[in-house]
Chain A
């Protein structure tokens, strides 16, 4: 058997288990007397060990085995849980993560020191370090807490044509008893013996045996139609898990691309059908249109992944940061269940990482400082996800000192980023200055952040995803960074607009409304032309200007698209609007000299190419 092709699967599954390990360790550290995290950790490590052994990754299996020994000691109460043990476990999980990653690419470094430390700890525990501060007390005389045996609800159906179903039922129960205690038999045994039942019997089986053992053991009683198992507690967990499969993301990418092509073809067919004389063609076109739309939403749904998968790594990060920085930080997460396209999710982790680091390093103050400012000594960072109509907003908020607007303004003035007359830094300016490569107001470059890459990287990444970044900051009260990204990248609904004979697509997600250009409503803000729309002054951009084809003032009543991102608005004046269409965003290698307001390209329903405007660049 060629085992190498399973390396990717091993890696993917191990990563999931390791992420679980980190969360469980954090939970356990908060509550050292809890017993559930130990059991969960043990299972996760044990699974990794088993998988590694199958793959022939001896180093990984060896490390996992030693961790298991320590966990076993903890579980049995031989070793007390304390900060020293937690620190060792965190380091071991890190080492295991490294070992898993390098095993998958064919190398297996071995850390003998860590092995020795784990082995010693499994026997006599670890002295607590003073740094932990809280939860440092050794859990006194933990009682033996063997993990409770799971109670599995079982339903067995005996074939209707079986002879003596009552006797068959008693064989089933006998066999079940060979696996563990049987309780709660329904219908009652006496009734079963007299065959007073419809062939179905229920009972609860307390056993550690794996599902397939239970099923095969019970099946072997003979004349069995089906055996159904439910997870511990009867949540039907096993059933749900059994219905999921792993799919290589590239498969879904290909599928998505093909559905994209199908959408374009469908749109073309729609155009032909409307112009054609044959009513049957119109009917078929409508039907195909509905089918393709349904298929498109299914494929998009298949790519959707809860943001929790990316969030899960951050609690550990913040814990480590707060230790390193000598700060006390509570980290909360909300909206982990909100879903995003997998390809966006994969890209969003790094921007979030930078923003969270910034919040911990620059935002949250040292405990003394906070107390002096009459704030709780423990700072708080909140990572939350919320779903808007066509986008998802991810917020990183802290209750720290806020961004120093005067420092930002001074810096901006020194570097000539603002006109000399400007004497206040609004949120927009904060972002413009913060996102300059290399910008930093940190007094000293710390190991955590402050090298001036954070916001810069976040802005670049988020913009590349067609998203936006906003900042809100209040002196002494805290700072929020808000990332907005589209739900999915591949297919977007767009408004088509003409300018100077060319067609452009404006993603609908950023279109607030369309109005007519009214020359009487034209005014100016800071030398820029602006339009008054229902008492709001909105700066204008003429698409003809952007493409260098301006020939005189805009026609009265020219269609105007109001773009909106967060609080910011721009009025985009075009020659004509050409309706809405689903467009497939093609990968786009911008040629040199491509203006920044072009975010991509697409093929329209009539087969003509069009440039996609990047709303964020126009605002």
Chain B
């Protein structure tokens, strides 16, 4: 819930979102944010084995994803793609 409010306040260039979060799930948050701003640049952070959730997040409007454990180069590439 906090994340969605923060987004509306700050209109950030980029959002990184964990898939599993307390309260509202990450995917639910993505859906909420995209309702107000379909162009929101959301990068999902997930762990191995959460592919089904990632797919759901993408369908909800996430623009890309990175997988833990993070590799700096992959994270950088993903950020560039999302902002590009």
CB contacts (< 8 Å) of B10 on chain A: these are none
Contact of B65 among A167, A193, A194, A195 (CB under 8 A): A167
Distance from A171 Cβ to chain B, minimum over Cβ atoms (Å): 6
Q: Is B3 an interface residue (CB 8 A)?
A: no
CB contacts (< 8 Å) of B63 on chain A: these are 171
> With A193-B52, A222-B77 as given contacts, are A170 and B67 in contact (CB-CB < 8 Å)?
no
CB within 8 Å of A: which of B17-57? 46, 48, 51-52, 54-55
CB contacts (< 8 Å) of A221 on chain B: these are 81
Q: Is B16 an interface residue (CB 8 A)?
A: no
In this complex, what residue of A is CB-closest to B66? A163
Contact of A163 among B64, B67, B81 (CB under 8 A): B67
Contact of A193 among B55, B67, B74 (CB under 8 A): B55
Q: Is A166 an interface residue (CB 8 A)?
A: yes
CB contacts (< 8 Å) of A167 on chain B: these are 51, 54-55, 58, 65
CB within 8 Å of B: which of A205-263? 220-222
Distance A164 CA – B52 CA, assembled complex (angstroms)? 10
In the complex the two chains form, is B67's CB within 8 Å of A164's CB?
Answer: yes
Q: Is A174 an interface residue (CB 8 A)?
A: yes
| Count: A-B pairs, CB below 8 Å | 37
In the complex the two chains form, is B54's CB within 8 Å of A164's CB?
Answer: yes
CB contacts (< 8 Å) of A171 on chain B: these are 58, 63-65
In the complex the two chains form, is A220's CB within 8 Å of B81's CB?
Answer: yes
CB contacts (< 8 Å) of A166 on chain B: these are 51, 55
CB contacts (< 8 Å) of B46 on chain A: these are 164
Q: Is B59 an interface residue (CB 8 A)?
A: yes
CB contacts (< 8 Å) of A194 on chain B: these are 51-52
Distance A167 CA – B47 CA, assembled complex (angstroms)? 13
Q: Is B84 an interface residue (CB 8 A)?
A: yes
CB contacts (< 8 Å) of A174 on chain B: these are 58-59
Distance A222 CA – B73 CA, assembled complex (angstroms)? 13
Distance from A166 Cβ to chain B, minimum over Cβ atoms (Å): 5
CB contacts (< 8 Å) of B59 on chain A: these are 170, 174
Distance A170 CA – B59 CA, assembled complex (angstroms)? 8
In the complex the two chains form, is A222's CB within 8 Å of B55's CB?
Answer: no
Contact of A195 among B51, B67, B77 (CB under 8 A): B51
Distance A359 CA – B35 CA, assembled complex (angstroms)? 73
In this complex, what residue of A is CB-closest to B57? A167
Q: Is B4 an interface residue (CB 8 A)?
A: no
Q: What does the 1/0 interface line of A333-351 toward B look like (CB < 8 Å)? A: 0000000000000000000
Q: What does the 1/0 interface line of A42-81 toward B look like (CB < 8 Å)? A: 0000000000000000000000000000000000000000
CB contacts (< 8 Å) of B78 on chain A: these are 222
In this complex, what residue of A is CB-closest to B64? A222
Q: What does the 1/0 interface line of A152-169 toward B look like (CB < 8 Å)? A: 000000000001101100
CB contacts (< 8 Å) of B81 on chain A: these are 220-222
In the complex the two chains form, is A164's CB within 8 Å of B84's CB?
Answer: no
CB contacts (< 8 Å) of A195 on chain B: these are 51
Distance from B43 Cβ to chain A, minimum over Cβ atoms (Å): 11
In the complex the two chains form, is A170's CB within 8 Å of B58's CB?
Answer: yes
CB contacts (< 8 Å) of B58 on chain A: these are 167, 170-171, 174
| Given A167-B54, A220-B84, A222-B81, 15 further pairs, Cβ under 8 A | A163-B74, A164-B67, A166-B51, A167-B51, A167-B55, A170-B55, A170-B58, A171-B63, A171-B64, A174-B59, A193-B51, A193-B55, A194-B51, A222-B64, A222-B77
Enumerate 27 A-B pairs (CB-CB under 8 Å) in ascending A order.
Answer: A163-B48, A163-B67, A164-B46, A164-B65, A164-B67, A167-B51, A167-B55, A167-B58, A170-B55, A170-B58, A171-B58, A171-B63, A171-B65, A174-B58, A174-B59, A193-B51, A193-B52, A193-B55, A194-B51, A194-B52, A195-B51, A220-B81, A221-B81, A222-B64, A222-B77, A222-B78, A222-B81
